Amino acid sequence: MSNQWNSGIHDRKLKEEICEIGRRVYNKGFAAANDGNISIRVGENEVLCSPTMICKGFMKPDDICAVDLDGNQIAGTRKRTSEILLHLAIMKERPDVKAVVHCHPPHATAFAVAREPIPQCVLPEVEVFMGEVPMAPYETPGGQKFADTVLPFLKGGTNTIILTGHGTVTFGKSLEDAYWKTEILDAYCNILLLSKQLGRVSYFSETETRELLDLKKKLGFDDPRFHVEDCDLCGNSAFRDGYKEGIPQQKSFEPAPSYPGYLQKPSTQSATPAAANGGHSEQLIKAITEQVMSALGK
């Protein structure tokens, strides 16, 4: 599947890509029946998208429709989904975004329904490829008010947002890129829930967290924590300005440790909450880092 995007609302190859991502979403159990929707930008003012009331696992290229950035349907025999407004809000705010996937992956959606923020500083791949996952406030799906809920959380490197009480939306430079974010998030949420059953989640030390953020910057990935001086590295606070009713607080999981922002100097404390709880050793972090870099090089 190509990572390139080409102009043209009648590009059959891109329509087939949407159908392929739809099959993956359906086969992974991320979208039941008619749930979810998928889009890709194909021009300055043209977006291909999945239609309303269709199972994403059974779409055909001829089912795909097209809209302009205002949501007006400009091609296709099937009616466009009402939730395309969410996709368009993201694309208009973030010109770097070419594709959007919205669905209801069960483990991640469990956090959305429980209104439980996703813990940070737990898994290396999540720190490097995702970072903090903000939670957009609940709004009835389908309208512009629902689409606008994500706007405060689109700054600096965000590619994944939890839609409170609803599901997830992930986005990126291609359809595969957007879809992979959904898969990573749901796998991570599953790991968190399984770890909770074993007893508790252990957090990285401040040193380990900074090593991962240094790696992320070295690899060329952006992260909101690179731009917010006073945020806690593990405290779900880089998006604090976006929350009108307060930053979501962890209730089901132990609170994350408080480390100073990435732009600030590391703490000189000899002991950390992660070390006290039997956290990962620096050697383990370095080994996993090497695996991540090796995978990126393939």
Active-site residue numbers?
A: 83
Pairing of strands 160-163, 135-136: parallel
Residues 6+ apart with CB under 8 A from 218: none
Dist CA 168 CA 162 (whole Å): 5
Contacts of 64 (CB under 8 A, 6+ apart): 15, 18, 19, 48, 49, 50, 51, 76
d(CA 256, CA 236): 8
Closest CA to 81 of 93, 97, 64: 64
User: What does residue 110 show for φ and ψ, rounded to 5 degrees?
Assistant: -60, -40
Beta strands in the chain (DSSP E): 37-41, 47-49, 65-67, 73-75, 99-103, 135-136, 160-163, 167-172
What are 108's two structure tokens?
């991640």
Q: Residue 159: left if φ>0, alpha if ψ -120 to 50, beta else—which one?
A: alpha
Alpha-carbon gap, residue 236 to 58, rounded angstroms = 38
Rounded to a whole number of angstroms, the distance between the first and last alpha carbons of the chain is 16
